[in-house]
Amino acid sequence: MKLTVLIIGCGDIGTTLGRELTSEGHRVIGVRRQADSLQGTGIEPLALDLATLDDASASALPEADYVIYTVSADRFEESAYQSAYPNGLKRVLGVLEQHETPPRRIFFVSSTSVYGQQEGEVVNEVSPTDSTSFSGTLMRDAEQALLDHPLPGTVVRFSGIYGPGRDRLIHQVKGGRMAAITPAIYSNRIHRDDCAGILAHLIQCQESGKPLAELYLGSDSEPATMYNVMSWLAKELKATATETMQSPLRRRTSKRCDNSRVRETGYEFRYPSFREGYAQILKEGGFLTSRSA
């Protein structure tokens, strides 16, 4: 059956998901403040600033079978996070609940920043969310707004997203930077294509009659220390470390994400660990020169 999917905040993940869904024959509408970049993708562009939504905006968003809320804050500031996540999502929910035919399910793309564990603990969907950062706290507020709403909703918490164009770590390693061996800082990541893959898979699960949980943790199958990830990249790039970073990428936590729940739905990761994912980026991004090939 042809579905209509509304992707709000149709950026990198949304566009990847939209292309996948349109290739399967579904109708996809992508919402962005500036929607010109969606031309030629097969996704129907809809230019809209969520800040303009109010209770009288019932027609601002088209009816859809599924809604994906994958908005990104435009800067790392508390006010921007407040606007993009709890406030923006609540405005969208206020519009969707007025539709004559409400969506079958709303998916909110959240983040593992809601966790505050610092000692390498294993975390899953039932672990405490005690982040002390404004980003994690506001993301958790948005999650709860969806879960408390009468419309059916599912939260997907993605860990560190990487993929084409998200190659900061590669450039750091090429530049000779390396994480310290100790203390062991665990990191978690997921390839952009698996983010889109999980969302498409969960839609398929609901369409086939499989019950969905309210919350899934989206992260690959191998949590790894920053040192191990950067060491592997250095070996592939034949790069020599000249500088040790004590706190790479502004790390605030150290945890190991357990993706058992999403795998139990039948989802098979395209990139089950950082090795497969970064190998693809290194090859397709032209990072493997004659010296490092």
Q: What is the pLDDT of residues 52-107, one digit of tens each?
A: 887 667 788 999 999 999 999 999 999 999 999 999 999 999 999 999 999 999 99
Predicted local distance difference test score (pLDDT) of residue 56 = 65
Predicted local distance difference test score (pLDDT) of residue 53 = 87
Looking at domain 4-164+189-221+257-271, its CATH superfamily turns out to be: NAD(P)-binding Rossmann-like Domain (3.40.50.720)
Among the listed residues 118, 111, 124, 24, the one whose alpha carbon sits nearest the alpha carbon of residue 66: 24
The neighbour count for residue 115, using CB atoms within 10 Å, is 24
Distance from C-alpha of 264 to C-alpha of 76, rounded to nearest angstrom: 34
Say yes or no to pLDDT of 143 above 90: yes
Distance from C-alpha of 115 to C-alpha of 154, rounded to nearest angstrom: 18
Predicted local distance difference test score (pLDDT) of residue 245 = 75
Asked whether 89 and 31 are in contact (CB, 8 A), the reply is no
| pLDDT tens digits, one per residue of 5-20 | 999 999 999 999 999 9
| pLDDT tens digits, one per residue of 226-267 | 999 999 999 999 999 888 876 544 446 799 999 999 999 999
Say yes or no to pLDDT of 113 above 60: yes
pTM reported for the whole predicted model: 0.93
State the sign of the Cα–Cα–Cα–Cα dihedral 174, 177, 182, 184.
negative
User: Which residues are 46's β-sheet partners?
Assistant: 31
CA atoms within 13 A on the CB side of 147: 16
At residue 79, φ and ψ (nearest 5 deg) are -65, -35
How does the average pLDDT of the chain come out, rounded? 93
Asked whether 206 and 231 are in contact (CB, 8 A), the reply is no
Q: What angle do CA 5, 125, 254 make, to 5 degrees?
A: 110
Among the listed residues 215, 216, 226, the one whose alpha carbon sits nearest the alpha carbon of residue 253: 226
Asked whether 277 and 200 are in contact (CB, 8 A), the reply is no
Q: Which of 209-218, 227-236, 283-292 has the lowest mean pLDDT?
A: 283-292
